[in-house]
Structure 1
Amino acid sequence: MTETLDTRSWRGVHVELLRRIQTKEWLPGAPIPNEADLAIEFGCARTTVNRAMRELAEAGLIDRKRRAGTRVALNPVSRVVLDIPIIRLEVEQRNASWRYTLLERAVCPAPVAISSRLGLDRETAMLHLSGLHFADNKPFLHEDRWINLSAVPGVERVDFSAISANEWLLQNARFTHGDITFSAEVAGESRAGLLSADPAAAIFVVDRITWDQGQAITSVRLSYAPGYDLHSKI
């Protein structure tokens, strides 16, 4: 342990526990001392150790089982880091010129499939936005979004012809976590027309819901023009 490591904080404890796992000081499958003993060793509260251990468990690095204790994971889970990109910047990072067109804006109830996933009453009014993002004047993706008005006060007054909902929400709406589904779909007639694609072409689709604790913020479907590729980190 380095002298500068502050093990009175959960982050300091987390760094030290992670070091012991990564350097094989604690081997895969080996038991880890209990929280009470670690709290004494680090001179901190047991809740501090608990927070650090939760982070390691959520990262798949340790296995915590009631009555069986805590062990270093035998097969650590590799996790992919996915950021929610600002689409404008994503296009510009591809050395292309970005443009956005708002196609539709309405306040109305969402389809039942969406309202039920968001945990909202089917009659709840939401802000529906449909827009098209361009890269060098060619369709890049179609953004079809529903926003929970009660979760984002004032959103109904935003001029989404001047800024995309994607960019405005990332700058102004707090979220704690999200659910993401990736799929490949046939474009079909309606999306083919929007994306200048063949109706039989395969397109990449992202369905995402973001939450602020237990409150749904927005549900969005992003349909990319053929040829899109996704980059992530591990």
Structure 2
Amino acid sequence: MTAPRLQSWTAIVEEVTRRIASGDWAPGALIPNEADLAAEFGCSRTTVNRALRDLADKGVLDRRRKAGTRVRDLPDSRARLDIPIVRKQVERRGAQHGYHLLHRDHSAPPPAIAAQLELEAGQKALHLTSLHTADGQPFVLEDRWISTLAVPDALQADFAACNANEWLVQNVPLSTGEIGLSAAPAGAEEAEVLGCAPGTALFRQDRLTRNAGMPVTAVTMLFAPGYRMRLDL
């Protein structure tokens, strides 16, 4: 049977969806790589990449760097949450936002962070620690790692002038992610920055975001005491 010639990314989305629905590609199956699909469909790898990214964003495919692309065991139907911009969170409270870069380096992250960013041992990432304030008072302490494999331009960005939270939202497409919410006791250094006693219970948000399956940034946000999270549905 002659392979179809598919010149548009939407046509590839339809063909991949058809193969999954028909059982040609079963749940959990590893599908052909972009180069093989481009050769089969008679189109560019860029066209295939866009189609697979769209299906990954819809939760149909699971794309991981170096591990390939698989059909999800249970295709997602997921609610979409915008990446929150801290400045807007502060301003919605009627307060003036402030920002201070506390630390910046380009170094090998701890093993847990390296695993999240899918980095090999010894590979470096950009590490930023910063404080956001509301009317001059501590609002949230941000501890962020950015994969410079995914975002090489981050090395030249002036994060003393523009916070990484807002810079990433403006400059890097973020297609999927994971968010964890928990309570955490303030350590001595965190308590000093946030103006509370050590051991105080803080609202903690851990977030990992990806672009087309490639991890972009892992961040931990520790909010000052009294913070209340609000979500619009």
Scaled to the shorter chain, the TM-score interval is 0.5 to 0.7
Give the partner amino acid of 2:159.
F
Paired position in structure 1 for 2:171: 172
The CA deviation at 1:93 is 1.0
Paired position in structure 2 for 1:212: 211
Whether the 8 Å CA contact 1:81–1:233 is kept in 2: the answer is no
Paired position in structure 2 for 1:122: 121
Partners of 1:200 and 1:127 lie apart in 2 by 28
The CA deviation at 1:153 is 2.5
Paired position in structure 1 for 2:87: 88
Paired position in structure 2 for 1:151: 150
Q: 1:138 to 1:210 in 2, by over 3 A?
A: same
Q: 1:55 to 1:112 in 2, by over 3 A?
A: closer
Structure 2 segments unaligned to the other structure (5+ residues): 1-9, 11-20, 23-53, 61-72
State the secondary structure of the residue aligned to 2:193: helix
Partners of 2:101 and 2:113 lie apart in 1 by 21
Structure 1 segments unaligned to the other structure (5+ residues): 1-8, 10-34, 37-50, 58-65, 67-76
Q: 1:188 to 1:149 in 2, by over 3 A?
A: same
Partners of 1:56 and 1:172 lie apart in 2 by 23
Whether the 8 Å CA contact 1:145–1:218 is kept in 2: the answer is yes
Structural RMSD (CA): 2.8
Partners of 2:169 and 2:59 lie apart in 1 by 27
Whether the 8 Å CA contact 1:81–1:232 is kept in 2: the answer is no
State the secondary structure of the residue aligned to 1:169: helix
**If the length of structure 2 is used for normalisation, what is the TM-score?**
0.66
Give the partner amino acid of 2:109.
A
Partners of 1:124 and 1:105 lie apart in 2 by 16
Spell out the pairing of 1:131-142 with structure 2 (5 A cutoff).
Answer: 131-142=130-141
State the secondary structure of the residue aligned to 2:208: strand
Paired position in structure 2 for 1:193: 192
Paired position in structure 2 for 1:14: none
Give the partner amino acid of 1:106.
D
The CA deviation at 1:181 is 0.6
Partners of 1:102 and 1:220 lie apart in 2 by 15
The CA deviation at 1:200 is 2.2
Whether the 8 Å CA contact 1:187–1:198 is kept in 2: the answer is yes
Partners of 2:58 and 2:117 lie apart in 1 by 27
Paired position in structure 2 for 1:70: none
The CA deviation at 1:203 is 0.5
Partners of 1:80 and 1:55 lie apart in 2 by 10
Partners of 2:58 and 2:217 lie apart in 1 by 26
Whether the 8 Å CA contact 2:176–2:213 is kept in 1: the answer is no
Deviations 1:159-213 (A, max 9, x none): 1110100000000011210011111011121211110011121100111110112
Deviations 1:130-177 (A, max 9, x none): 000000000000010000111112211111110100000000011210
Paired position in structure 2 for 1:223: 222
State the secondary structure of the residue aligned to 1:88: helix
Q: 1:104 to 1:80 in 2, by over 3 A?
A: same
Give the partner amino acid of 2:200.
A
Whether the 8 Å CA contact 2:116–2:215 is kept in 1: the answer is no
Task: Report the count of equivalent residues.
Answer: 169
Whether the 8 Å CA contact 2:126–2:145 is kept in 1: the answer is yes
Q: 1:55 to 1:153 in 2, by over 3 A?
A: closer
Q: Which has the larger radius of gyration?
A: 1
Extract structure 1 runs of 4+ deviating beyond 6 A.
54-57
